[in-house]
Structures are given as structure tokens and as C-alpha cells.
Structure 1
């Protein structure tokens, strides 16, 4: 048997060679020893000191616990990774609607009702029960989510088995609990050792790796942009690093300069590239010009073309130009990626050239190489460093990636439930 669990709640299971591969939910570092549970005869004298589980009036067994390799990560991390796999709240709503319309759901809850229940229930106690090896989601839902609420009677009146809400996928259950503060640290575990040891699947199939269709190729104007964004993900979103690929910038970076990037975008569209791609232009005069003309192209569904986001902090920025020093809005004129780093208490942009295409000056922040060098030297988050600009970039980037995956996931769902 192979199980995906939340605490001891079974979310998904398989047997022998028939199971869903959940490796993308985890990072390689999530591989560890986790508890596996087995049943021994209740009358076995060698197991007499083990917990006795009464399954029914006619059947009891002893609970054996063994530690074996498997994956384990807190629900908060898994729920965030699910977004990049396309399993968003909107997807969950669509799945719920499809199941309801085909008559699979045996309850009268709306999606918002269910989300409110799952978000507010005190489910921390469901982590480990000393008298239980595992439990199914229906029992978990009845005992830890609706017990003692007005919804309990509604659930039981529609159910054949003391209250169940069958049909929801494991990923939708995790996403419904994503905002519940009592669920954040519950372990999501994947117990695959028995299937691997039994030879039902090669061991490498359980390596935590995001498949290429779920990865995102990030393309920028130059090497510094790639280096900074990649390092920002490593520091600020380390649980998501394996979702992203970057154009190799170690030697002969091929897309230096915005004009080259525009032509590259045209090339990707012409060959209908199958990878998920996010193209990021700078938020300066030249970058905005090429972003605007790239955005007019008939881009692919698996592609997003964006520029670095505007920031209110850039609206009153110290600048130096032919007429001297003044405060100015550098959004769309001089906000290259180094401006999103901590540039000290009084950063300054120097206007360098007039951009006739956009009727504005192009500028560059002074000391940009040193500003980038300092950030790239961070081995961990540094106290006192202002990461807000980078957080703004990553929020935009991740949001665009989620939109790509969500559209693909919804298309698959619609194909599976054409009448839903």
C-alpha cells in the first residue's frame, strides 16, 4: 500500500503499481524517516504490549509502528506548492461544482460554506491519535470539522454513514485547509516505501522532482536580472526553487539588451514553445517600450510577458540630471532591477539619455554593481535589509506562474467533466 496523509488522515491511497505520483508536493530535502502503521493479530503474544485498535465489534488488531523513508512537509508548504501546480481556490471551486453537478456529493454545502468550515475548524488535534493508526477523511471531517456546529445535522441528514463528504481530491482538501491556523504545521506525508521495496515502481520514480510541464522558464533582459531573481527565490521562497528554470547566464548570455529579448519572444511564439515561460522586462524607458510591443504579440497560453512592477516608493525618488538634483517618479523610466534592492538611505538615479520613442529620459541607479554585489553575497536573510522590493517582484512572478498552471489544470478538469 501507498498513502498520502495529513497527520494520520488518509487523503489518497494506492496499491502495488496503481497510485498517483505525489512527488511534486515535496522537495528533495523533505525525504526523511516517517511512521508507517501495520496491523498485527490482536491475540499475538509478541504484540501484547502494543496498542489495541477496536475496528468493529467483531474485529480488533494491534497497531505496529515502523519508521521508514518517506516524504514529510508541513501543510503550509505543500499548500503553497499546490498553487504552482494549478490547484488554486478557483480550481477547487470548479472541482467542487463538477462533483456536485454529477451527483457525487452527498451534502448540501456550497463551496463557500465548506471553505469557511475548513478554515475555522480546530483540526490540530487530528495530528496523531494514540489509539488509531489512520482514519479516513470522512471521519476526520465529521469529528474535527463539523462536530458541534450547525452543519453537523445538515451533513448527517444527507449521508448514509453518519456524515461524510466524499469525492474531494486530496489536493482540494489541502487547499481548503490552507488558511486554517491550526492546520499550518500538520505534516503531509507520502508513505511510498512498501511499494518501492516491493518492486512495484522504480525507486527513482519517487524522487521529489517537479516534472517539466509544471516548471517555469524565466527569461530576463540580462545576467544581473537572472542572478538577482534566482537568488531572491532562494532566500525568500526556498520552498519553491525547484519550480523555476533560468536561461543559462554563465557564458554568452544570448538575450542581453531589450531589443534582443523582444526578438527572442517573437521566436518563442513562432515555434510555439511547449515550456511555460515568463518573460520579464525592466521597468525603465527601454524596457517598457519593448514590453509594450511584446505584449501586442499573439502570445501563447503558456507564456506571460510582464515588466518589473511599479512601486509607490519610486514615485518620489532622488534623481540627478542636466538641470541638477530633483525628486521624480522613476517608474517606467529608470527602475531597473537594482532599484528593487536595498540601496541605502539615499539612493539616487542619474538620467543618462533621452528616449525619443517614449518621450522621456532613461536613467540608471548609481552604484548598481555594488548594490547587486552586496545582495548576491547574502547566504541567508539579513536582519535590517529591506527585501520589500524583491518581495514585490516575487509576488508578481509567482502570481503569473499560478495563472498559467491554473488555466491548464482547469482545462484538464473540464475535459474530465465535460458536463460539469
Structure 2
């Protein structure tokens, strides 16, 4: 009979292989997702009778669907991408049906729009579907398996629907057959749109395959693959340290997708001007890595970002600036005429300004105006005592954040902007026609 391996969501199989690993799904998981899972292929009576342990066969990579979604986004599976894929799938199905049609055949059904399909998927939470195994053949058994999906007036409007291709054994598995018509990650992304599915486990159960000798546990490696990661190039070494620590604290579920230039000794391209030259150089030599050039939200960063944005960067590269914030529109600043509150967006908001400037018991935060940038007709400013704010942030732990003693809202906003841009790159590079 062989040994099966599947990628399941709530007992619905999205991929299937027998006697070999099949599709590599490691990028959906992290090492902490390696755990024991009860499996349908495991004869628990045998283990109970012999006193042996089923641990090896129970090993799997398993993670709640809601925690897989951020990783799907960084793999390029946004809802917009899913919509385009569905529309291509529907059109391909129409073309196939037209090519097989004859003069006496009934008109083609009006296929669901993407919005209708999305509503169909989310209207039926997986846990609400009957998973009772129905054995035997015949119309009565097939009707029992179809359950609430017996109305062909609805199911016939689904791309790839066929009343004759029948593999399901329960209402839940039949629903899986109806909706599993695209890339499995696209289907998973749609299933996640149903809030009731969020806590369902995404399971890649490899234990039986390893136990049967068809694979080794070392074949099932979690974390983003190198080609799926993003190199974040920053203006200085402190930016890299801050962002790396921020991902570890605030976004550990996707931290493995982000790499930073090695600044353990010194930054190889320090300063705004050098980062701009580095970006221009990488673009010219057609580097295939996914790269984001991150500039500060100050006068120099704004100027460099504007200049780089005027160049046509490859699809795998983006230039972004730290986001402008309303909280920076009335910020203490010191210049020749004394201290006043002013807007420091595009003028003095380097990454240190996105830290908690009230933590650590330091004096009130303020920037110091330095030089005038003629290119953008604005003064450049710098946060005073910025090293102190950096050290305070690098001391933070998950415990201090959960205790509410540190305000990470601003740096969280910066991470939001970076993750959004990287998701956009992924959708463009790994799915160029999607």
C-alpha cells in the first residue's frame, strides 16, 4: 500500500505524496513547530500491545493556521495574488469546457466570481463539517458524503467541478475536493479568511514516512529557504541591530525571513550616500536576491529615497523610507533660535526616534538641527543621546514587553511597513504572472 505524507489543514489534505517527501513545506514552519501529532496511519493497538513507543511515527511539523498566514504573505500568497490565480483557473476551466463542447451540450455554467468563491469557502468552517467516514459506493453513500453540498446548482459553478471524479469519504473531505483547485498555499490563505478556522492546525506529518524508511528526519527542515529571505540594507549598523532585535521580540514567527548585512565589526556601506551607491551597484549587476533598501525618515534619507525611486529597480529590489508618523509632527527640536515643537518627518526621524523615548528615565527627547539640505530644502536633524535609547531598547526582552513597561508601537509601525514591502516583492518575484 505504501506510506502517505500530506499537508493538512483541519483534517483536509491539500497535498499528497506516497513513498517520497513530495513538496517541501518547510518554509511554513519553524523549529519549535516540530512536535508529536496523532496520525491516522499509526496502528496504536500495535503499540499498546507491544509496549513500544509511537513517538517516531507521530513526529510532524504543526502550526496553527493563523500563525502560518504571515509566512504565506512573505512567500507571496496575498489575497490579491489568490484572486488572480482563481480568475486564471476559472478561465482555463471555461476554455477546456468550450474545447470539449458540442452543439447539443448544455450551456456552460456561470462560474463563481472570486468574491463568491471566497464567501463559499468562508461560509463553511472546517470544524462545522461532518468528518464521519462513509464506506461503500452508490448514490446513497455519495449523497451522504456530499452532505450539505448536494446542490449541483451551486457546486457546478465551481471551477474544475465534476460529478464523476469522486474521491471523498466524508463531508469535510468532499468540501476539500471542491475548494482545493489552486496552489495549496492559495487555498490555505482563503481558508484563513474564515475566523473559525484560525486555530486549526496546519500539519506536515512526516513520522510515518521516516519510520517506513522512505525519508530521513533531516529531510524535513523548517524555516524560510535562503531564496525566500529578504536582505534588509540599512544606513548604519545601529539600524541593523535595532531591526534584528525588533523582529526577534515583536515578530518571532517570521524573523527567519529577514537577513541583515554583517555589521559585527563595522558597516561596509555606512551612511545614506553609501547605501544609495550600494543600491545602484546591486541594481546594475542584476543581483537576484530579494533586497530592501531602508532609508531613515529624515532629510538625507528622503533625498536618497527620492533619487533611488527615480531609477527603475529590478522587481526583486525595493527602496523604502521609514514611515511618517503623526507623533513626529510636534517634536521637540533645538536650533539657533532655541527649543520648539516642530514636524520632524522627512527631516530628523532616524530609526532611533521609533524607539520608546520615555523609557530609561532620560531627559525629554529632542533633536538637534545640523546642516541644511538644499536638494530637499530642509534642515537635517539628529536625535540627541540616541545611543542611550538604543541601549535601552536592546535590553528589552519578551517579559518586559509583555509587562507593558516599554512602548514598542512606533518600531512596530516600522516593521509593518517593511513586512508589507517584502510581501509585495515576494508576490512579484515568486509569482510573476500571478
How far did residue 98 of structure 1 move? 1.9
Greater than 4 Å deviation, 4+ residue runs? 64-67, 104-107, 138-143, 156-159
Distance 1:223 1:142, change over 3 A: farther
- Once the two structures are superposed, the pairs formed by residues 10-25 of structure 1 within 5 Å of their partners are 10-17=13-20, 19-25=22-28
Shift of 1:213: 1.6
Question: How does 1:212-361 map onto structure 2 within 5 Å?
Answer: 212-344=226-358, 346-361=364-379
* Alignment check: 8 A CA contact 2:121 2:179 kept: no
1:259-278 Cα distance to aligned partner (Å, 9 max, x none): 11111112111211111000
Partner of 2:119: 116
1:193 to partner: Cα distance = 2.0
Change (3 A) 1:251 1:119: same
What is the distance in 1 between the residues matched to 2:395 and 2:88?
50
Q: Is the contact made by 1:36 and 1:65 (CA closer than 8 Å) also made in structure 2?
A: no
Q: Secondary structure at the match of 1:168?
A: coil
Distance 2:394 2:193 in 1: 33
Please show how residues 8-47 of structure 1 align to structure 2 within 5 Å.
8-17=11-20, 19-38=22-41
Q: Does residue 1:366 correspond to 2:388, yes or no?
A: no
Residues 31, 71 of structure 1: 8 Å contact kept? yes
Shift of 1:316: 1.5
Q: 1:141 to 1:392 in 2, by over 3 A?
A: farther
Residue 415 (structure 2) aligns with: 394
Shift of 1:329: 0.7
Number of aligned residue pairs: give it: 384
In the alignment, is the contact (CA less than 8 A) between 1:178 and 1:184 conserved in 2?
yes
Q: State the alpha-carbon separation in 1 of the partners of residues 32 and 233 from structure 2.
A: 27
Q: Is the 8 A contact 1:37 1:66 kept in 2?
A: no
- Residue 95 of structure 1 and its aligned partner are, at CA, apart by 1.8
8 A contact 1:218–1:277 mirrored in 2 = yes
Compare 90-99 and 392-401 and name the one that shifted more. 90-99
Do the aligned residues in 1 keep the contact of 2:373 with 2:379 (CA within 8 Å)?
Answer: yes
| Cα deviation, residue 354, structure 1 | 2.3
1:156 Cα deviation after fit:
6.2
Is 1:154 matched up with 2:144? Answer: no
Q: Name the SS for the 1:273 alignment partner.
A: coil
Question: Hey, what does 2:102 align to over in structure 1?
Answer: none
Q: Where does structure 2 lack aligned partners over 5 or more consecutive residues?
A: 98-108, 135-141, 167-173
Change (3 A) 1:356 1:308: same
1:207 aligns with 2:225: no
**Residues 45-124 of structure 1: pairs in structure 2 closer than 5 A:** 68-103=58-93, 108-124=111-127
